[in-house]
Structure 1
Amino acid sequence: MRILQTRDTMSEIYLAAVKIRNQVFVKEQKVPLSIEIDGNEAYAIHFVLYDDQKKPLATVRLLPLDDTTVKVQRMAVLKEYRGKGLGKILLQGAEDFAKEHDFKEITLGSQWQARAFYQEMGFKATGEPFTEAGIKHVTMIKKLAD
């Protein structure tokens, strides 16, 4: 397994991320493509987890909100690879990147059914549930440093 990242929206890594996101969010979850690809693409750091045969299996992006906080977005694992711990590997890689770049906090909007996964990874729910793209979510936060 290997995680690669990019900010280049013309790169192979970014294109692999978009392909995974299209499969998971647009095709499976029926999120409109018009909101799945947004104005933050060029500002985010896109991560893709590849297997040993260089096949892209999962993706996530980090969007810096300010000098101390990044937001986890567009976390997706291809259906046939779910339940194998790949999400944990990928999220840990993104978290390590955030720490290396001196971010102090990670936030995210978890889909309701995924909140236990994020709790297991150290995130805490905050605030009331909300709906985004027709899907129930909750805001979650994890402190990276004191």
Structure 2
Amino acid sequence: MTSYTRHVGSDAAVVEMAHTVRRHVFMEEQGVSEAVEMDGKDDAATHVVLTDDETPVATARLRFVDASTAKIERVAVLSDYRGDGLGDRVMDAAERVAVDRGATDAVLHAQVRVQGFYERVGYTAVGDTFEEADIPHVEMRKRLD
């Protein structure tokens, strides 16, 4: 079993690792424009990155939308690493960081095609489907313990 290293922070090195994964997944695979993906919110966020040796392979970003609600965003796993539980691991790490910083709730905008993944890790859809980056999304929420 591969051992992955977790990096958490907002320093330039962690942000660049997160960008590496996000460029592959969102910009190259999904065709999201750089202007949309690199939205200027990274400096005000905390990033979680999992690496395999020195290679960034999974990431998530979190920001607080109010004193007790963390918004988890930009969750991505490189295609060669999907199916190995890294989505679960990066979500768990992001939620732990959120709880450690006072969050009692998490919210995210899930791409509809992966809504089932978020349901499996405890999120519930709220509201109607909407477009974000020309991709159908749904808002989802979870109470954090």
Q: Answer whether TM exceeds 0.5 for this pair.
A: yes
Contact 2:59 2:77 (C-alpha < 8 Å) held by counterparts: yes
4+ residue segments displaced more than 6 Å: none
**2:67 is aligned with what amino acid?**
D
Gaps spanning 5+ residues in structure 1: where?
Answer: none
Counting only pairs closer than 5 Å after superposition, residues 71-82 of structure 1 correspond to structure 2 as 71-82=71-82
Q: CA RMSD in A?
A: 0.9
**1:126 is aligned with what amino acid?**
V
Counting only pairs closer than 5 Å after superposition, residues 83-102 of structure 1 correspond to structure 2 as 83-102=83-102
Gaps spanning 5+ residues in structure 2: where?
Answer: none
**1:117 is aligned with what amino acid?**
F
Contact 2:48 2:61 (C-alpha < 8 Å) held by counterparts: yes
| Count of paired positions | 142
**1:66 is aligned with what amino acid?**
D
When normalised by structure 1's length, the TM-score is: 0.94
SS at match of 1:141: strand
Q: What is the rounded CA distance, in whole Å, between the counterparts of 1:38 and 1:107 in structure 2? A: 18
Cα shift at 1:47: 0.9
**1:34 is aligned with what amino acid?**
A
Answering whether residue 9 of structure 2 is matched by residue 6 of structure 1, we say yes
Q: What is the rounded CA distance, in whole Å, between the counterparts of 2:35 and 2:144 in structure 1? A: 33
When normalised by structure 2's length, the TM-score is: 0.94
Question: Partner of 2:54 in structure 1?
Answer: 54
